[in-house]
Every structure is written in C-alpha cells, then in structure tokens.
C-alpha cells in the first residue's frame, strides 16, 4: 500500500497559525488534521514539515495584532477600546513593561538599613563598626 501525501489547504494553514499563536503545542494541534487520502490523522513529523512557516510565524503575528490593538487604545485611535479607564490602565502597563518605568510609593523605603544609615541622629562612628575596630590599638 502506497502512502498518499498530505497537502494542507489555505484554511488549515490559517487555523494552525491561529492555534500556534494561542499557545497550543504542536502535539495538541496535530491530531486535529486528517489526511484525506488515508483518512488517518497526520503524524507530528508530517505536521512540522507541512506547516513549517505557520509554526514559525503564528505567535509573532498574534503578538503583533494584540500590540496594534493596545497601541490604538492607548493613543485613542480608530480600532482601539474607547474606555478612558482602559486607556489609562494600558498606558501604565505599557510604561512599566516596555519602557522600564516603576511605581514609587511615598513613605516606603526599599532598603531600611540604608535609610537608617542615611538618617541616623549621630554621624559619629560607633565603636562596633568595622573601620573603628580595625583602627583601634590592640591592648
């Protein structure tokens, strides 16, 4: 019995690209497609061979679409979400994740030991500090 080659349709290519973009694994997607010549599902090797381009570009294309939607919402362009609260939330999210901005909370110190050193009442060296112990004469 001879093998019959599997030739994917444009519709199948689109579905694979979508599912890869959503984060489904190749092993999960593969059993969803049947070879019309044999009536059996295609194996993983055939799937990777026939859908190489879609596997490589599916996630990037979806990320680009989502990114366009986010930017359109932030800038108030056509195709974005018109809700002002959503715009503000996405702007903050974008600034934190893509621009490296951080929120600062007034009144909280990131490092309490450093704050204690900076704002100590006495600037005199304490007898237990390392430089004082080293410079002290040995008795």
Q: Domain extents for the chain?
A: 10-98
pLDDT of 100-133, one tens digit each?
888 776 665 556 655 555 554 444 555 555 555 5
Nearest-CA neighbor of 90 among 106, 65, 67?
A: 67
Integer CA distances (angstroms), 41 to 10, 20, 34, in order: 18, 18, 4
Higher pLDDT, 138 or 52: 52
Please tell me the pTM assigned to this model: 0.61
pLDDT of 11-63, one tens digit each?
999 999 999 999 999 999 999 999 988 889 999 999 999 999 999 999 999 99
């Amino acid at each position: 019995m001879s093998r019959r080659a599997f030739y994917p349709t444009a519709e199948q290519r689109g579905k694979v690209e979508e599912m890869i973009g959503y984060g489904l694994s190749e092993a999960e997607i593969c059993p969803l497609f049947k070879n019309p010549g044999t009536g059996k599902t295609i194996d993983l090797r055939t799937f990777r061979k026939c859908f190489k381009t879609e596997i490589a570009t599916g996630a990037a294309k979806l990320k680009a679409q989502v990114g366009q939607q986010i930017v359109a919402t932030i800038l108030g362009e056509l195709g974005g979400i018109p809700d002002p609260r959503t715009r503000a939330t996405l702007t903050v999210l974008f600034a934190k994740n893509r621009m490296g901005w951080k929120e600062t909370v007034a009144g909280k110190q990131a490092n309490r030991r450093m704050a204690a050193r900076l704002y100590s009442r006495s600037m005199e060296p304490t007898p237990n500090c390392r430089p004082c112990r080293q410079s002290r004469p040995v008795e």
